[in-house]
Amino acid sequence: MEKYVELQESIISGKKDKVGELTQRFLDDGRPAKEILDEGLIPGMAVVGRKFQEGEYFIPEMLLSARALNVGLDLLKPLLEASDVKPVAKVLVGTVKGDIHDIGKNLVSIMLRGGGFEVIDAGVDVSPDTFVQMAKESSVDIVGLSALLTTTMPSMQETVEAFKSDGSRDKIKIMIGGAPVTTEYAEKIGADGYAQNASLAIEMARNLAGV
């Protein structure tokens, strides 16, 4: 909708104060929270994702837009929950055991939230057993594993194996990502997919969720 163009542009340019101001103004005007999300925040972040894929934006620009998006999401979240708007799917994300890098994981988390997913962030240095336990407690649909170090990639395989041992592997989709990770590695360890960056992770998550 044309009325949300300024909100979209504020997301794209990373103006978090403006995003907060516009989101609140739309709420005060009686616009539905889901409409603001679907017509303002999500399309804005989708443009950011495309710019990142095309090499026009880099991680600093992504982080600025992501922070701006979060301001809007924080205002909408209570209203979305109160109106019983269902998330696209529930995703557990975390950096695997032995790895404490979190920028990629955080970007994916924010992009997923902006895409209408419910996200549970397990943090960094997450053991296979913790992934399994948190996935079970939160009844997630998808688990996203991140690794930046080549030396921690085996933790991804151990986590996939932990879900198999637990008997819940067939109920949960597992996607992986990170600088050293490849599609071939995802296939080798039995993951359901690999995403090269945060923008592609949203597409992967939507595919895995069947939407």
Mean pLDDT (the chain, rounded):
93
Q: Is the pTM of this model over 0.75?
A: yes
Cβ-contact 38, 87 below 8 angstroms:
no
Q: What is the DSSP letter of 87?
A: P
Fold for 2-82, please state it. 1.10.1240
Could you report the per-residue pLDDT of 156-168, keeping only the tens digit for each?
999 999 999 999 9
Distances (CA, A) of 74 to 17, 110, 113, 118, 155: 13, 11, 10, 13, 33
Give me the pLDDT at residue 136, please. 96
- Cα angle 134-150-50, degrees, rounded to a multiple of 5: 75
% of residues, the chain, pLDDT over 90: 71
- Cα angle 59-61-65, degrees, rounded to a multiple of 5: 115
Mean pLDDT, rounded, for 64-76:
92
207: pLDDT strictly greater than 90: yes
Report the DSSP beta bridge partners of residue 171: none
Give me the pLDDT at residue 162, please. 98
Mean pLDDT, rounded, for 111-134:
94
Mean pLDDT is lowest, of 51-55, 92-96, 149-153, 155-159, for 51-55
Pairing state between β 90-95 and 118-121 = parallel
Phi, psi of 145, deg, nearest 5: -110, 130
Mean pLDDT is lowest, of 10-14, 49-53, 203-207, for 49-53
Could you report the per-residue pLDDT of 15-50, keeping only the tens digit for each?
999 999 999 999 999 999 989 998 999 899 889 988
Cβ-contact 158, 176 below 8 angstroms:
no
In what helix (H) or strand (E) does residue 25 lie, and over which residues does it extend? helix 16-28
Residue 204: count other Cβ atoms within 10 Å of its Cβ: 22
Give me the pLDDT at residue 10, please. 97
84: pLDDT strictly greater than 90: no
Give me the pLDDT at residue 1, please. 63
On the question of a common fold for 2-82 and 90-209, the answer reads no
Q: Where are the chain's structural domains? A: 2-82, 90-209
Give me the pLDDT at residue 199, please. 81
Mean pLDDT, rounded, for 165-182:
95
d(CA 124, CA 144): 12
State both tokens at 163. Answer: 């879900």
Q: Which CATH class is domain 90-209?
A: alpha beta
The tokens 């993951």 sit on which residue? 191
Give me the pLDDT at residue 68, please. 94
